[in-house]
Amino acid sequence: MKTEREKAQKSIAENRKAFHDFHILETYEAGVALLGTEVKSIREGNVNLRDSYARVEGSEVWIYNVHINPYSHRGYADHEPTRKRKLLLHRREIRKLIGKTVERGMTLVPIRMYFRNGHVKIAIALAKGKQAHDKRETIKRRETDRETRAAVKERRR
């Protein structure tokens, strides 16, 4: 059963590749500083989080390579599809991220983008890169889970 908080969220885009390439350690919710045409384009679902990442610069967090297609009904106003965008986090969260991203191998990866009460939010994760053998292990585990679900389903019939 969904909680009240989950009901208020409308998912826009997910970064499934992040779960394949990284071990997710912690997640944070951040707002995004966007232009009007970007929000309208996001409402149409024209967003791609693949190959995107976040970086702490000074005392601000910026997100890179999030591709937001230009709005279909735009006039003269337009935006650059892959410009860097500022993430809106609390100061204490930024300080915590600075401390953890200094560690070797840690990176900030956007996992999903969604609307919460009319505002665009991004779930960013503190992640550590997976080795090739870890990826193979994940794939193997996923296949065995799929096979067991199929066997249980077949047995019910």
For 22, counting Cβ atoms within 10 Å of its Cβ (0-12 exposed, 13-18 middle, 19+ buried), the class is buried
Query: What is the pLDDT tens value at each position of the chain, 157 positions in all?
Result: 566 666 567 788 888 888 888 888 889 999 999 888 888 888 888 888 888 889 888 889 999 998 888 888 877 767 788 889 999 999 999 988 888 888 777 889 999 999 988 889 999 999 888 777 777 888 888 899 999 999 998 888 7
Residue with tokens 């279909």: 72
Domain ranges in the chain are 8-131
Report DSSP state, residue 59: T
Whether the model clears a pTM of 0.85, i.e. scores above it, the answer is no
Of 26, 24, 46, the C-alpha closest to 34 is 46
The CATH code for residues 8-131 is 2.40.280.10
